[in-house]
Structure 1
Amino acid sequence: MIPIRVFRTTYQNASISLLPQSILLYSCGSRNSTMASVAMFRILPLLFFILGIWSTSTTASSDYHEQLLLRPLHPSSLLASFNFQSNTSVTSFEQQNFRYFPRSLGQILQYANTRELHLRFSLGRWDAENWGARPWGGSREGGTGVELWAWVEAETDEEADSRWLTLTNALSGLFCASLNFIDSTRTTRPVLSFQPAGYHTNSTLSNLHLLHGTLPREVVCTENLTPFLKLLPCKGKAGISSLLDGHKLFDASWQSMSIDVQPLCVEESEDCQLQITQTIDMVLDIQRSKRPRDNPIPRPVPYEDLKCDTLKPYHAEDTCFPRDEAANEEDWSLSQIFGHSLKGSCPLADESEDPVCINVPHAREVYVSAGTTEHKDNSGYMRCFKLPEEGEFEMVLPRQELQEKAPLEKPLLYAERSFIGYGQERGGVQAILTNPSATDAVDFVYMESLPWFMKVYLHTLKAKINGLDEDVIQEMFYRPALDRKRGTQLEVRMRIPQNSTVILTYDFEKAILRYTEYPPDANRGFDVAPAVITIGNVSIRTTSLLLPLPTPDFSMPYNVIILTSTVMALAFGSIFNLLVRRFVAADEAEKWDLRAIRLRLKSALGRMLVRISRKGKFGKLE
């Protein structure tokens, strides 16, 4: 009986019901310890054989998938998208048989009654003009800092707020982030912008509450990456997750980490799965990533390595016009970009999928490690690699001149947002939205989550198309702010015609804060969360804003203390001198002259010595 329990603890995916019934009956019914031991030694080989077959079949039909997609961007940038996905049945999840699903996150979702979760950690700015459309259509991207939205099951709004608070505090401890600061002033309830990504029955939807919170001031660092990797089955030790290094990730021009948990069900079937998707997207500068870690300071190119344009005239030998190398592809390798090569494949991942893919023309030269199988698609711009079971995987792309490059997908909308106006009392926000399509109009929802100290004047909301006042706004939802209780929520549904630009503006008033509500660096300003633009399944985030508020002189108490202390010291010194110092008349001052006192002391000391000497002589005569 004891060995069976030990094996059951070691192989957490195994179930005791898989063992033959005769084994269970014999081990439980045997009362003679000697006979039980002999029988157990006979059973052990069969037990190992059954567990080996079961683990092999489990690995073959694995519910864990991972893939790395590399896409060169222009100029001299590389987009690396790490995608990790695992599924577990809802029944097993409710029974806390998590399998590949991370137990730490699963128990938090169960305790907070969260049916769907979306968490984002983002840093940097996506350059849509040079990099094209966002990866995954922006659906796995968040605003600058931390963004969280979830569907919580509750009967009342108060109960939903309580469970939302429980969820944010638990996630704060799990991911070493400041999610516990998402209070009521930073929480909104979107109406038009977000829709459930998973499957929910009609009876469940009636009790689901959508809550959304942001922390634009949060700085993403390695403290958030470490717990992210611990949620993966291979923990960053094998597979594509072994390439994730904090030094490279947070040196990227733009990076985003996302976690999505959603239920998936087949129509007219009770077979429901709970899917968790973890994604890391980063845009790396190839030149900066290739610098050695011990000496990252950029150096000028040696004279002999300069590539000059020979078609231009030169008046001196030391003059050089750099040659335009836009047609040349940068040379790079996995070890140069990520610091080391890929440490084999994850043994728990699905073997039917290729774990590494690269989006380059088929004419591009790509060298990989021995034992790697290459697959090319029919589009002419994608190739994938099946990694060897053992050993490390390396990919090298030499410098090559290509006239054809992989096309970049054009974004559906270009968005810019900034502050307008001047002064410490009022201001304005301007959003410039451009539709680059020449044939199709774009319908979207524009959402703003503003802090309570930005008091919006709704009557100043205006939308102009190409500088003309037109009726662009189709629907609007507005929830005003309450001081120190709730922020402002603004959602606008609009339609932009083809080749048009919409300028959305509104004015606001800056509230006066209490001196205890200012951060330590009050003169820096207050971060305003990015706007969320939803175009069907595509999401776009604008950049965050930095709002300057009227700031009191925090050095005033210090100055008052110094001035008061100085005045008190002067007053105390004067009064102390008046009370302690002895005043005498001018004619009496000569008696207390220093010379007179010294002479008197000298004469008194001389008379004392004479008396002592006389007494000594009289004593000898006697």
Structure 2
Amino acid sequence: MHRLDLCVCLFVIICGIGSATDVAEESLTLKVTNQAQLYTVFNFSVITSYAGAAEGYHYHLFPRNIGNLVKKYSVAEFHLSMTQGLWRYENWGYPDFSAPPGAQLWVWFQHGVKDVDAAWRGFANALSGLLCASLNFIGKTETVIPELSFQPEGYLSGENRHYIRYAVLPRENLCTENLTPWLKLLPCGSNNGISRLIDPANLHHSRFLSLGLDFKYTCTEEICTRKRMELSQSVSTVFDLQLGPKNKPDFSIEEVLGRRLKGTCPLASKSLVKFVVPDNVILQPLPTYSDGNLRVYDLVSMKKTGNIKAKWSNAAVSSSDDIPHLLAHCHITGIGQQDGGIRCQIANTASGNVSSTIMQTVPWFLQVYLHTLSVTDQSGKKMEIGDLTFRPAKIRQSPHFIEYRLVVPEKSTVVITMQFTRGFLTWTEHPPDANHGFYIGSTVISVDGQEIGLGREGTQRIYTEIMQVIIPVPDFSMPYNVICLACTVIAIGFGSLHNLTTRIFKKVDPDEADQSLLSRLKGRLSAIKTRIVGQGTPP
């Protein structure tokens, strides 16, 4: 009996040691943009030991449902974003977490997966059910295999492009039903700490809202002998600030987010609130420490937390430091419903050349012509592109895929154009709002962060607008008209034929015909009339 108790105690101790490797951190960053708007970023991360969690089937702070999905489908890393609205680079600068409008998912699978497409479909469907999203609509016609873009961000033994899949759903909307299961993945849920400030109803009143979920393996040593699992969750929003007296955009956390800070998450080892504000901004209470425009509140060391207010000592002044050096915009060209094109404009205001990788996917029902691809500078001179990859679409099987490298010269503008022809869809392939049109996903431009003045290493992705295209739509009222006409013709023709074939015709004597009910009724009425007229006549 004592030996059994000793084994149980040892097992509990071992499990406790394994769970102690879990580290949870949370932070909230608030940054005032040049347009009197507030950019807020909620970031939550959980780092755990791979050996203690995935292999031992024991989870402490790391969400078990994510761990089961990663293990079942042999996922090396995945990145999911669901965004409502368009990020305005000219007004807000570069975001901390870049994401296109709609839903975006890209996954690296472990080497050795036999059927990557089956694992991709299964993982997308499982993630769709987990987050109450429409990721189950990701199929062959939305999936591509990038050749240059979307490099692995975590540890991956060897880079084989056969094991990466990418898809985007431009029309996917972000709802509160997506945020609720997302919050349940946090160690403290939405009950304590910074996550308590996330009010789903309040977030949907913002100009921009993006939800992120990223998983990857990391290593702390050069020769990776023990991998760790890292899950990062983020919420990015942009709120409008109300200008007070003398155009001062004073605000507080409670005014913007609708809730107050109350304590920290007891499971988080680090809980920070960061303000990126100009020097003429006074914060109350005073921050824990400051570093230039960065003011930091360490909630773990603070005895009391509550509302944090930001007040301007003088009128807010716009700064040109946050204006991005590289901007990109795309739109549809052409008139009518037959021919069209895509025109993208990339502007580089930096004092040096910027090397970029451009990727574009086009739906299969738009017939893209590669020979019409043109890349010119602002003077109209053609420019060279490198490492061009073009995969033409297969009808109802795969989209068009175009990817290449391009060097954008300093202080110049590059124009990229490409022509296409609209195809036809069967009437069952149109959505319920067919006249609304279809969407082409954002063009993805990948650049080095240091080349565009971000001051940090790593790849920065720039997403353009999604493009709406109208394709020929059939007359959906025609089936109704045909049904009405056919029913009318059948009713008239079949009714007459039915009467002729089912009625019995008999020869009737004319004298007997006058003895019908109607004739007798007429006779009585005539007699009554005669009697009345006769009584009224004077003798």
TM-score range, shorter chain: 0.7 to 0.9
Give the deviation of 1:94 after TM superposition.
2.5
Describe the SS at the equivalent of 1:401. Answer: coil
Q: Distance in 2 between matches of 1:268 and 1:71?
A: 38
Q: Distance in 1 between matches of 2:495 and 2:316?
A: 87
- Give the counterpart of 2:345 among 425, 432, 445: 432
Q: Distance in 1 between matches of 2:225 and 2:63?
A: 23
Describe the SS at the equivalent of 1:135. Answer: coil
> Does the alignment pair 1:598 with 2:517?
no
CA contact (8 A) 2:280 2:313 kept: no
Question: Can you list the C-alpha shifts for 1:4-38, whole angstroms capped at 9, x where unaligned?
Answer: 99xx89xxxx952369xxxxxxxxxxxxxxxxxxx
> Does the alignment pair 1:234 with 2:188?
yes
Question: Can you list the C-alpha shifts for 1:119-143, whole angstroms capped at 9, x where unaligned?
Answer: 11111111111112x222xxx3221
> Does the alignment pair 1:385 with 2:297?
yes
Q: Distance in 2 between matches of 1:490 and 1:531?
A: 10
Write the letter of the residue equivalent to 1:355.
L
Q: TM-score, normalised by structure 2?
A: 0.86
Deviates more, 1:471-480 or 1:401-410: 401-410
> Does the alignment pair 1:219 with 2:173?
yes
Give the deviation of 1:272 after TM superposition.
2.7
> Does the alignment pair 1:89 with 2:3?
no
Q: Which residue of 2 aligns with 1:110?
A: 71
Cα distance change of structure 1 residues 600 and 496 upon mapping to structure 2, 3 Å threshold? closer
Write the letter of the residue equivalent to 1:66.
E
Describe the SS at the equivalent of 1:64. Answer: strand
Question: Can you list the C-alpha shifts for 1:493-527, whole angstroms capped at 9, x where unaligned?
Answer: 11111111111011112121111111111111112
Q: Distance in 1 between matches of 2:345 and 2:325?
A: 14
> Does the alignment pair 1:366 with 2:283?
yes
Q: CA RMSD for the aligned pairs?
A: 3.1
Cα distance change of structure 1 residues 531 and 600 upon mapping to structure 2, 3 Å threshold? same
Q: Which residue of 2 aligns with 1:169?
A: 125
Q: Which residue of 1 aligns with 2:140?
A: 184
Write the letter of the residue equivalent to 2:24.
Y
Write the letter of the residue equivalent to 2:461.
S
Q: Which residue of 2 aligns with 1:421?
A: 334
Q: Which residue of 1 aligns with 2:537?
A: none
> Does the alignment pair 1:336 with 2:292?
no
> Does the alignment pair 1:376 with 2:300?
no
- Give the counterpart of 1:350 among 266, 269, 290: 269
Q: Which residue of 2 aligns with 1:142?
A: 99
> Does the alignment pair 1:556 with 2:475?
no
Q: Distance in 1 between matches of 2:303 and 2:284?
A: 18
Write the letter of the residue equivalent to 1:280.
V
Q: Which residue of 2 aligns with 1:129?
A: 90
- Give the counterpart of 1:565 among 487, 491, 506: 487
CA contact (8 A) 1:154 1:208 kept: no
Question: Can you list the C-alpha shifts for 1:424-443, whole angstroms capped at 9, x where unaligned?
Answer: 22211111111111x11111
CA contact (8 A) 2:51 2:226 kept: no
The 5 Å alignment of 1:202-601 reads 202=158, 205-206=159-160, 209-265=163-219, 266-287=221-242, 325=246, 328-351=247-270, 355-368=272-285, 374-377=288-291, 379=292, 381-387=293-299, 392-398=305-311, 400-402=313-315, 408-437=321-350, 439-536=351-448, 537-575=459-497, 580=503, 591=514, 596-598=519-521
CA contact (8 A) 2:145 2:165 kept: yes
Cα distance change of structure 1 residues 389 and 364 upon mapping to structure 2, 3 Å threshold? closer
CA contact (8 A) 2:47 2:62 kept: yes
Cα distance change of structure 1 residues 571 and 168 upon mapping to structure 2, 3 Å threshold? same
Give the deviation of 1:347 after TM superposition.
1.2
Give the deviation of 1:389 after TM superposition.
6.0
Question: Can you list the C-alpha shifts for 1:580-622, whole angstroms capped at 9, x where unaligned?
Answer: 49698997698257674238899xxxxxxxxxxxxxxxxxxxx
Cα distance change of structure 1 residues 589 and 74 upon mapping to structure 2, 3 Å threshold? farther
- Give the counterpart of 1:66 among 21, 26, 35: 26
- Give the counterpart of 2:61 among 96, 100, 120: 100
> Does the alignment pair 1:80 with 2:76?
no
The 5 Å alignment of 1:20-59 reads none
CA contact (8 A) 1:182 1:215 kept: yes
Write the letter of the residue equivalent to 1:545.
M
Write the letter of the residue equivalent to 2:257.
F
Cα distance change of structure 1 residues 149 and 480 upon mapping to structure 2, 3 Å threshold? same
Q: Which residue of 2 aligns with 1:200?
A: 156
Give the deviation of 1:363 after TM superposition.
3.2
Q: Distance in 2 between matches of 1:581 and 1:505?
A: 78
Q: TM-score, normalised by structure 1?
A: 0.75
Q: Distance in 1 between matches of 2:340 and 2:202?
A: 39
Q: Distance in 1 between matches of 2:38 and 2:316?
A: 18
Deviates more, 1:96-105 or 1:72-81: 96-105
Describe the SS at the equivalent of 2:493. Answer: helix
CA contact (8 A) 2:141 2:364 kept: yes
CA contact (8 A) 2:146 2:161 kept: no
Report percent identity of matched pairs: 34
Describe the SS at the equivalent of 1:517. Answer: coil
Cα distance change of structure 1 residues 572 and 365 upon mapping to structure 2, 3 Å threshold? same
Write the letter of the residue equivalent to 2:474.
P
Cα distance change of structure 1 residues 534 and 135 upon mapping to structure 2, 3 Å threshold? same
CA contact (8 A) 2:374 2:382 kept: no
Cα distance change of structure 1 residues 471 and 599 upon mapping to structure 2, 3 Å threshold? closer
Q: Distance in 1 between matches of 2:89 and 2:494?
A: 69
CA contact (8 A) 2:170 2:439 kept: yes
Cα distance change of structure 1 residues 589 and 418 upon mapping to structure 2, 3 Å threshold? farther
Q: Distance in 1 between matches of 2:406 and 2:201?
A: 42
5+ residue gaps, structure 2: 449-458, 526-539
CA contact (8 A) 2:22 2:62 kept: no
5+ residue gaps, structure 1: 20-50, 291-304, 308-324, 603-622
Q: Distance in 1 between matches of 2:494 and 2:22?
A: 84
Describe the SS at the equivalent of 1:515. Answer: coil
CA contact (8 A) 1:472 1:496 kept: no
CA contact (8 A) 1:62 1:350 kept: no
Q: Distance in 2 between matches of 1:361 and 1:600?
A: 106
Give the deviation of 1:409 after TM superposition.
2.5
Give the deviation of 1:155 after TM superposition.
4.0
Structure showing greater Rg: 1
Q: Distance in 2 between matches of 1:576 and 1:194?
A: 71
Q: Distance in 1 between matches of 2:341 and 2:162?
A: 35
Question: Can you list the C-alpha shifts for 1:399-452, whole angstroms capped at 9, x where unaligned?
Answer: 542466676423231111111012222211111111111x11111011011111
Cα distance change of structure 1 residues 471 and 361 upon mapping to structure 2, 3 Å threshold? closer
Cα distance change of structure 1 residues 391 and 222 upon mapping to structure 2, 3 Å threshold? farther
Describe the SS at the equivalent of 2:126. Answer: helix
Write the letter of the residue equivalent to 1:597.
R
The structure in which a higher percent of residues are helix is 1
Cα distance change of structure 1 residues 599 and 529 upon mapping to structure 2, 3 Å threshold? closer
